[in-house]
A = this chain, B = another copy of it.
Amino acid sequence: MYPEKFEDLIISLRRLPGVGQKTAERYAYAIMGWDENIQKGLQEALKGLKDIHNCPVCGNMTDQKICSICEDENRDSSLICVVQNTKDLAAIEQIQTYNGLYHVLNGLINIKKGILPDHLNIQGLEDRLTDQTKEIILALDPSIEGETTSLYIEKLLKDKVKVTRLAYGIPVGGQLDYADPRTLTKAMEGRR
């Protein structure tokens, strides 16, 4: 009933999380109504995604050789904040109070789902420790998986470097990237 390319667009949009037929149609009509250069902008952004990969140092998303945070000489390289994913990294960056480096695990240990330490970017964290590294801040979700992963990393590194955690200030059972900036700031200050 719809032109083929329009139908294709709806099918593509239905793959987005939480988007059903009605919403996909609404989005498709909206995109149809966009100026051509705005449609082009979305096309170009999609085309550019293939250049994005994980930073070999910290695991953050980047389209450069090394990510902009690892590359930044003004950041305090004695601190490494461990996060589950780049979404959480982005949430911490937004509060603009943390000036150290990051380490992105790209997941959490989940025995039930078969996600073991070897599947995560944990070895990379141990490997990048130097004499300069003074503190590892664990900023993982306060969930069972986050707790398990935190305990694992603590055990692995506690003899080599000081390991702290974000203070509880983050609602227990909540998702880190949904925490408001003040809660995140408090949690950062009260790390232990």
Residues on A lying within 8 angstroms of B by beta carbon are: 1-6, 8-9, 11-13, 15-17, 22, 25-27, 29-32, 34, 36, 38-39, 41-52, 61-64, 68-69, 86-87, 89-90, 93-94, 178
Contact = CB atoms under 8 A, between A and B. Distances in A.
Given A51-B5, A63-B4, A38 B17 contact: no
Contacts of A49: 5-6, 9, 31-32, 39
Given A6-B61, A9-B42, A25-B90, 11 more contacts: A1-B68, A1-B94, A2-B61, A3-B61, A4-B63, A5-B47, A9-B46, A12-B45, A32-B49, A36-B50, A43-B43
A72 B29 CA distance: 24
Quick one: copies of this chain in the complex? 2
Contact of A5 (B27, B30, B31, B48): B48
A31 B48 CA distance: 12
Contacts of A94: 1
Given A15-B30, A39-B46, A41-B12, A52 B87 contact: no
15 contacts: A1-B93, A3-B52, A3-B63, A4-B63, A5-B48, A5-B49, A5-B51, A6-B61, A9-B42, A12-B42, A16-B27, A16-B31, A17-B27, A32-B61, A39-B50
A31 B46 contact: yes
